[in-house]
A and B are shown apart, each in its own frame.
Chain A
Amino acid sequence: AQKVTQAQTEISVVEKEDVTLDCVYETRDTTYYLFWYKQPPSGELVFLIRRNSFDEQNEISGRYSWNFQKSTSSFNFTITASQVVDSAVYFCALSEASEASGTYKYIFGTGTRLKVLA
């Protein structure tokens, strides 16, 4: 079955610390896509990154980096030098094509709440 596991329910760090959010997935598909979204206190989810299953290169965007390891079915997210504004709930998601329509839908993990303390 398709599944996304975010085992860390809540993480607290002090500002400027590095923090890694874990994401482990299960899929029967050979081609699939993984996503990370951020949900700040305002509530609106914001897209951070999409990665396809054929691209295992790590990605870096400013203080954010993502480590995709197919061998361990993981797509972890690291924030370097965390800031208070990084406080949010972060969701990992996996694509799944509908058998009926072929439309891609998403399976979300349960989210990790990150608290960055000043």
Chain B
Amino acid sequence: DVKVTQSSRYLVKRTGEKVFLECVQDMDHENMFWYRQDPGLGLRLIYFSYDVKMKEKGDIPEGYSVSREKKERFSLILESASTNQTSMYLCASRTSGRAIPNEQFFGPGTRLTVL
């Protein structure tokens, strides 16, 4: 079974702190994604990575950066956390599927609260 794990289920941080959210998948997937989920807004794509060290902005990248130094790990970084970044963060991975978009496998999510 594909396993996508996220470093924390719940996280509380202070405004201005640098925050790292880690995601690890164990199925050698090429593509990895970070979303945030907010009530009434569904899932919105922050960043995705299609290979090691390769990344692309999603729909709402402002205030975030990402890092993918190893294939299995994709990190989301909040350089200076703000209260409007309080949200549920979901990581997903998928095989490359250049011709056909395959299904994504999701982690359990990290609920981040910024005070």
Contact = CB atoms under 8 A, between A and B. Distances in A.
Interface residues of A, number: 27
Contacts of A103: 31, 48, 50, 56, 96, 98
Contacts, number: 60
Contacts of A95: 101
A50 B96 CA distance: 16
A102 interface: yes
Interface stretch (A57-65, A66-74, A108-116): A108-116
Interface residues of B, number: 30
Contact of B103 (A50, A98, A102): A50
24 contacts: A33-B100, A43-B108, A45-B92, A45-B104, A45-B106, A46-B106, A47-B103, A47-B104, A50-B101, A50-B102, A95-B101, A98-B56, A100-B56, A101-B56, A103-B48, A103-B56, A103-B98, A104-B98, A105-B58, A108-B35, A109-B42, A110-B40, A110-B41, A111-B42
Interface of A: 6, 9, 33, 35, 37, 42-47, 50, 52, 91, 95, 98, 100-106, 108-111
Interface of B: 31, 33, 35, 40-45, 48, 50, 54, 56, 58, 88, 90, 92, 96-98, 100-109
